Structure 1
Amino acid sequence: MQQRSEGIAKAVVVLRSGGVIAYPTETVYGLGCDPRNPDAIQRIFKMKGRTRRAPFLLVASSVAQVRKVAKLNGKGLTMARKYWPGPLTLVLPAKLGKKDIAIRVSSSNFVQALTRAYGFPIVSTSANISGQPEARSGQAVRKIFKARKEQPDLVIDVGSLPRRKASTVARVRGDGTIEVLRKGAIRI
């Protein structure tokens, strides 16, 4: 437990300083940063070799945290209450700036503790080169990014993660209808 809390404390310091972390989620290792920091987001795009056309999702510790960045009501709130914490990513209207934001309340105890300690949702994208297999261990993260110019500032290694289905991604439209954008662990 102490090792976990030390990892979370280190991660919070890195996030607050504008850095990028690699961390375990309920499915794979992810890359994360503060979504309000455009330089950190750009570093993740470079690390992954990914175009900016495909935005990243966010993970949060609670519905209250989701509401800091997205409008959550009606059908979206009903789905959140039913499936969160869990592998359902909702595409919701953003509170500021962007039109929509993809976000979920993770069922990972580590992600919950991390985002709670940070006090704000964080970026979550698989720790891999775009189009390549995802990392399922801290060792795999280090191997993937070893030869890259951009690397995570901190890798939180909890060992190997079991294979699980990716999250289901669904858009909640203004009229209350649901559009499934990616089939995953939850059937809607």
Structure 2
Amino acid sequence: MNAGPEAVEQAVEILRSGGLVALPTETVYGLGADATSSEAVARIFALKGRPSFNPLIAHVADIVAAERIGVFDKYALTLARSFWPGPMTIVVPIRPDCPVCELARAGLDTIGLRVPANATTLAILEQLDRPVAAPSANSSGRLSPTTADHVAADLGNGVDLIIDGGASRIGVESTIIACLGGTPVVLRPGGTQREELEVILDTELADPADDKVIAPGMLTSHYAPHARLRLNATDVKPGEAVLDFGGQLSGGVVHIDLSPDGFLEEAAANLFASLHQLDAAAVDQVAVAPIPNEGLGEAINDRLRRAAAPH
């Protein structure tokens, strides 16, 4: 559908109902879903075929909306006022009442925020009045799409609505900069040049000190719960909690089923919240039921393996 008022109206309706919309932006086309809904965000991962749950950028209409989600220090505010709307994502600490779901944040206490420079997508964000998670609208490992035709050729009928806003003006992803106290750090180069940022901030930007994932486009790390995870468990040992899938296990001092009916999308949507529940229960060890290593199961198992690694 061509960009315009009708496309905006349809997109808002689809996003509110948990659907997926391919959104034009100045960088690349994004695969948008309601960032406050873990079920909607799970659909992004399922359609893209992502093998791991990395954090997604939350797109908002303006600085006011962004500050309802994250805590902005002086550097973050200066960058937002200077470069938004535009091809720059700012990673900041989340507020205690952050509405963005844990799946979109990959369980982290930071969030990447962006105000895109595209009139149609901004109108959608303003009318929707909630953040939209929108990674590039392509299958995992494929080239990022810069036209609606690219999206249609790759993702096809998996997207509820593809808005044709013409070719992306910049054609590369946004620059990602972390403002988490101290000197801002460039996490990913992109559509806003490092030199421009340094001039505005009047300081030399830092590079990442390690490979911890706090934004898209970085190397893979993990959210690690306090409890030890025993993966692919077929029984429950005394004193263990249970993270079940499809009712395979019984008992446990705490018993949480990611999806009693064995649906992988439901399990993905519940994963991070369930790990936090286990943390809150202060258990020492968790028996984790086997999860099929297909579709979203691959990403769930990847995240569980990382969570189970020594830390």
Matches for 1:1-188 after TM superposition, within 5 Å = 4-95=4-95, 96=98, 98-146=108-156, 151-175=158-182, 177-186=183-192, 187=194, 188=197
Q: Residue type matched to 1:169 in 2?
A: I
Q: Residue type matched to 2:116 in 1?
A: S
1:67-109 deviations in Å (ceiling 9; x for gaps): 1211123221111112111111001111136400001111111
Provide structure 1 residue ranges, at least 5 long, that are not aligned to the other structure.
none
Whether the 8 Å contact between 2:36 and 2:131 is mirrored in structure 1 is: no
Q: Residue type matched to 1:25 in 2?
A: T
Q: TM-score, normalised by structure 1?
A: 0.89
Secondary structure (helix, strand or coil) at the match of 2:134 reads strand
Cα distance in 1 for partners of 2:128, 2:136 equals 20
TM-fit CA distance, 1:154:
1.1
Cα distance in 1 for partners of 2:170, 2:84 equals 20
1:112-133 deviations in Å (ceiling 9; x for gaps): 1111111122111101011211
- Residue 162 to residue 107, structure 1, CA distance change in 2 (3 Å): closer
- Larger gyration radius, structure 1 or structure 2: 2
Greater percentage in strand: 1
1:42-61 deviations in Å (ceiling 9; x for gaps): 11101111134311101111
Q: Residue type matched to 2:121 in 1?
A: V
- Residue 116 to residue 143, structure 1, CA distance change in 2 (3 Å): same
Cα distance in 2 for partners of 1:30, 1:3 equals 14
RMSD: 1.8
Cα distance in 1 for partners of 2:147, 2:187 equals 27
Whether the 8 Å contact between 2:60 and 2:132 is mirrored in structure 1 is: yes
How many residue pairs get aligned? The number is 183
- Residue 143 to residue 3, structure 1, CA distance change in 2 (3 Å): closer
Q: Residue type matched to 1:183 in 2?
A: P
Q: Which moved more, 1:95-104 or 1:155-164?
A: 155-164
Cα distance in 2 for partners of 1:170, 1:161 equals 22
Percent identity between the two aligned chains: 34
TM-fit CA distance, 1:162:
4.1
Q: Residue type matched to 1:89 in 2?
A: T
Moved over 6 A (4+): none
Whether the 8 Å contact between 2:73 and 2:179 is mirrored in structure 1 is: no
Cα distance in 2 for partners of 1:44, 1:156 equals 17
Provide structure 2 residue ranges, at least 5 long, that are not aligned to the other structure.
103-107, 198-311
